[in-house]
Structure 1
């Protein structure tokens, strides 16, 4: 048994340093948070609300910090995945959480793979459906690689650099109305709760809240001794995601301020095409493909991790035998649904709203766990994080209710 336990422990970390694993988790979370859904949602709502959408971006960044710091710390200190924690709070609750997160992740993955397919369509002119199949094959290749976790981390980090570089270039060739952006971000003249629930849900809700924490667990980082790396990873991930959020919002605002109407079928593409013509449009194709791939990897990894309820090294090894088959099935199903349904722009906005409803439920579970000694031992969760966490829960419940009233 001891030999089995050692094997299981060595597999995830593969000899990597705690900081390297934390950075892998940081970029996995950040890039999952700013995938095709975020590109589409930001472009759509910036076109509708102009500078006032900056308020939703600001709230998104604040909520991101509160959620990620709470979730990462509690998961790592407990050394348990979120669904196992939920079951310890209330038997059966973990299965409900797994269903909500995995189902939301599957729906989001349809849009993620579709987004990557659209990126290939922009770059090479192939159909989005065939592009989605190519993207799915690329994602599967990453997960079936010998050191899958390391390959996933490196792939996400490289694509993150590509995304940031492209956005910085677009910012350099546009006249951005910074004054209006800052003014309306902090003093909005119009607040739309549907846009808030959607953008927060699409960038913090559902599986995204747990991608970083579960990656740390997978890498073997558990217990209070790892909090230093938890903080470094979470803050890095939040910083990278926030930078991309701000850059894309400002780029979109620069376009809509001059009166340009975004194409509802592909609103984000309109921003880049207006900014830099066909050259910018091709850049958008690279950005969209990168965003689709990083989010597909994050969604697949995290959603599948919610199916893991193992408690022993032996059961962990047994599940590992089937893990690749489950991952492949998850990606294939997502690609197949997109292939026959299509319309990723609409899917990405709607699913973001759905994940916004999941957030207060999942965050509440982790906050309750933060005060259960049988789960976290003698760890004392910071009062500031607990208070702000419950404020986020209350706000998202209120915003979700307001959205339901508006929709129906």
Structure 2
């Protein structure tokens, strides 16, 4: 649902369409891309190029908007106030939900499975999280610079697009919309496909899997349209919710790593890596607890 909302925001920035209309159009296009394998492969390559462009555009906005970098660094290490809603939303939106499984799912689909590919999996995961971290920092500095310059984004329907527009003009808004839409529509397909994989087995006919995936996209779009909530609100909610349930996904992965080595084809994770995994799991539990404790009265 939130990926459809993101695609709607992308078309809103690109063409000025209402986000709900943009989400519905994006869902139809996502189904078309999913059913035409060649189109999906082409989109994957285009998204890589657009991802590089997005990093460059965000870096440009971060420089032009002249954010208070020193204050940002200080607040990162020693913040005056800790909002666990913000922390949970950022973590959940970055590595929560289906994202935990989607990368591995794509590698499995490409035929990369088995202990012999462990090195490639490790490199891919590290590269992914590093690029994500760089993008998060650049985007934060870009928005901070725009807000520090006096631009009010509170009432904007599409706050991020408004920030890019304030710093990079109309072309910045259009480029942002294109990049956001492309990233969101791949997530619409990926989220549906990964979610359906939990409902199917290896013996499930491919046609059934495809129909379930299409049905999931249709259902997600219908919920988005019927909810009537602002896309930005839905994205924040999804990030916070994914952050809260992140420990569950971690628990499953750690249980398999520790207790179900029969599922790993004989591969044994290094003890130090398992230790880091447990530490990360404990951190997610702590963050989830703090979030609930801080926001219990509002839940």
Q: Deviations over 1:380-401 (max 9, x none)?
A: 2122221121122112112212
Asked whether the 8 Å contact 2:7–2:26 carries over to 1, the reply is yes
The aligned residue for residue 374 of structure 1 is 262
The 1:327/1:196 distance shift into structure 2, 3 A limit, reads same
Q: Deviations over 1:174-218 (max 9, x none)?
A: 213222222222232322222111111111111101111111122
The aligned residue for residue 292 of structure 2 is 404
From 120, 128, 140, the counterpart of 1:229: 120
Deviates more, 1:225-234 or 1:178-187: 178-187
The 1:162/1:115 distance shift into structure 2, 3 A limit, reads same
The aligned residue for residue 187 of structure 2 is 295
Q: Deviations over 1:325-383 (max 9, x none)?
A: 11211112222222233311111111111111221111111112112332235422122
Q: Say whether 1:338 aligns with 2:221.
A: no
The 1:166/1:286 distance shift into structure 2, 3 A limit, reads farther
Q: Deviations over 1:226-267 (max 9, x none)?
A: 112112211221122122111101101112223432234432
The aligned residue for residue 307 of structure 1 is 199
**Structure 1: stretches of 5+ with no match in the other structure:** 1-109
Corresponding residue SS for 1:222: coil
Corresponding residue SS for 2:86: helix
**Structure 2: stretches of 5+ with no match in the other structure:** none
From 214, 233, 239, the counterpart of 1:328: 214
Q: Say whether 1:241 aligns with 2:132.
A: yes
Corresponding residue SS for 2:139: helix
Q: Report the Cα offset of residue 151 of structure 1.
A: 4.2
Asked whether the 8 Å contact 1:205–1:355 carries over to 2, the reply is yes
From 110, 130, 138, the counterpart of 2:21: 130
Asked whether the 8 Å contact 2:24–2:221 carries over to 1, the reply is yes
The aligned residue for residue 281 of structure 2 is 393
Give the 4+ runs in structure 1 shifted more than 6 A. Answer: none
The 1:271/1:149 distance shift into structure 2, 3 A limit, reads closer
The 1:398/1:145 distance shift into structure 2, 3 A limit, reads same
The aligned residue for residue 351 of structure 1 is 238
TM-score (norm 2): 0.89
The aligned residue for residue 167 of structure 2 is 275
From 346, 361, 371, the counterpart of 2:248: 361
Asked whether the 8 Å contact 1:139–1:293 carries over to 2, the reply is yes
Partners in 2 of 1:116 and 1:255 — Cα distance?
23
The aligned residue for residue 98 of structure 2 is 207
Q: Report the Cα offset of residue 148 of structure 1.
A: 6.8
Q: Report the Cα offset of residue 155 of structure 1.
A: 4.3
From 17, 28, 36, the counterpart of 1:145: 36
Partners in 2 of 1:303 and 1:350 — Cα distance?
19
Q: How many residues align?
A: 293
